[in-house]
A = this chain, B = another copy of it.
Amino acid sequence: MKFTYLFKSLAFLLLLGVSASTQAQEISAMQAPRVVSPEVADDHSVTFRVLSEKATEVTLNGSWMGFGTTLPLTKGEQGVWSLTIDPLPSSMYHYNFFVDGVALIDPTNSQALRDGTRYASLLMVPGEESEVFQLNDTPHGDISQVWYNSPSLEVDRRMYVYTPPGYASGKDSYPVLYLLHGAGGDEDAWTSLGRANLILDNLIASGKSKPMIVVMTNGNAWQTSTLRNIPGQPVPTRETRAQYQGKFEKSLVEDVVPYIEKNYRVKADKDHRALAGLSMGGGHTITASINYPGTFGYIGVFSSGIFDANADMAEMEKKFIALKDSGVSKYWVACGKEDFVMESNKRLLAMLDKTGFEHEYFENEGGHTWANWRTYLSMFAPMLF
């Protein structure tokens, strides 16, 4: 079938008198796109379709449905399985099909997302609420995949650096937000799933946020990067994780911050450094900020908290007080009502209350989701600098 497609394309371009060569993708069009999926109707109901004459069961799981739940598609004419769901609120979602129990991305949807080791198909329901993370007609910042040496971890590692529109051709210095992902993620997560670059593009364009650099590291201290097949990279066993405990926070402050301040045009002081993270990255944020008071003037903790109920709270209290005394312009905490980390989140809030640490708390619907983390970033960034 590949040859057919190739020659059709070729014939078609020759027909046009196009003098360039043509070539279809090397990854074959394995399934002719005889169905459209997903199809978002004007009322925001969504129809999913899968073409299979032979399947005995096709189901769907979507990020709006809750964990482990599936809905069945129904087989119709010519082997087209379909399902139409009720209108969804404007947002960005992801989903997988299961054909006879095997998980897959939608073969007719060209947009897939990677979350760590897993893939899902993207579903965008347009509307006002999703405007802040769309690619709109504004100036765009650049994203660089940057390799830096980490003396703390004794490896070269990779991070993503967002520079705001105008950085490349300008002379200005900028403040920096260090933005940390959760467990299972990597340095790619905040741009691919979190759309942090688009959120910043939009907030800067509308004047809601100051132009800033955003640094997105890899919080898995045993990895050099999301790239796999790296000789000598330890497998993250329990022992590996234990061995690396606390090392990411050290490498962030002692390796990453100096690298950024040496190689980018930045304002290199506490009042122009912010630190925020989600889930595990919120834990990293708490630890790095109390271990290095005076480094970050703005702190954001998303869907996280103090996880270890048996931690030495007296010792931690001293550290929070030292951080408070170092001068923090904003300590912002956010969590969803249904988030499974709520108890940990409450421990953080109790610690802030107990130490008289001025802070703001935002609680919304939903749980431990990228929909919430995109919202939190779009609320936090305008508070900075």
Binding-face segment, A93-101, A325-333, A356-364: A93-101
Per the bound structure, the CA–CA distance linking A83 and B175 in Å amounts to 54
Q: Which residues of B contact A278 (CB under 8 A)?
A: 23
Question: In the assembled complex, how far is the CB of residue A268 from the closest CB belonging to chain B, in whole angstroms?
Answer: 16
From known contacts A107-B104, A119-B105, A145-B142, infer whether A280 and B27 are also in contact, taking CB-CB under 8 Å: no
If A3-B67, A184-B23, A307-B20 touch, whether A100 touches B101 (CB-CB below 8 Å) is no
User: What B residues does A94 contact at CB under 8 A?
Assistant: 26-27
Majority SS at the chain A contact face: loop
Q: B104 near A22 (CB under 8 angstroms)?
A: no
With an 8 Å Cβ cutoff, the count of chain A residues facing the other chain is 120
Given contacts A2-B68, A183-B24, contact A54 B54 (CB under 8 A): no
* Residues of chain B contacted by A304 (CB below 8 angstroms): 21
Q: Does any Cβ of B come within 8 Å of A318's Cβ?
A: no
**Residue A353 CB within 8 A of the other chain:** no
Q: How far is the CA of A27 from the CA of B117 in the complex (A)?
A: 9
Shortest distance between the CB of A279 and any CB in chain B (Å) = 4
Alpha-carbon distance between A286 and B61 when the two chains are bound, in angstroms: 48
Total copies of this chain within the assembly: 2
Q: Tell me whether A152 is interfacial, beta carbon within 8 Å.
A: no
Residue of A79, A112, A165 with most partner-chain B CB within 10 A: A112
**Which of the candidate stretches A130-138, A210-218, A292-300, A377-385 sits at the interface with the other chain?**
A130-138
**A276 in contact (CB, < 8 A):** no
Q: Which residues of B contact A142 (CB under 8 A)?
A: 144-147
Q: In the bound complex, do residue B119 and residue A27 qualify as a contact, i.e. CB atoms below 8 Å apart?
A: yes
- Nearest-CB distance from A210 to chain B (Å)? 19
Chain B residues within 8 Å of A284, by CB? 20
Task: Report the bound CA distance from A224 to B5 in whole Å.
Answer: 25
A231 in contact with B137 given A68-B28, A143-B145 (CB within 8 Å): yes
Contact A283 B135 (CB under 8 A): no
Q: Considering residues A16, A17, A168, which has the most beta carbons from chain B within 10 angstroms of its beta carbon?
A: A168
B101–A104 CB distance below 8 A: no
Residues of A within 8 A of B (CB): 1-3, 6-7, 9-10, 12-14, 16-31, 50-57, 61, 63, 67-68, 79, 94, 96-105, 107, 110-120, 124, 134-137, 139-147, 156, 158, 165, 168-169, 182-185, 193, 227-232, 238, 241-242, 245, 262-263, 278-280, 282-284, 286-287, 303-308, 310-311, 340-341, 344, 368-370
Q: Can you offer 28 A-B residue contacts whose CB atoms are under 8 A?
A: A1-B68, A6-B67, A6-B368, A10-B307, A16-B242, A17-B308, A18-B283, A20-B283, A20-B307, A22-B279, A22-B280, A23-B182, A25-B118, A26-B368, A27-B63, A30-B103, A31-B102, A52-B101, A54-B101, A55-B102, A102-B104, A103-B104, A105-B105, A110-B118, A142-B145, A144-B144, A147-B165, A168-B263
* A-B pairs with lowest CB-CB distance, top 3: A20-B283, A2-B67, A110-B117
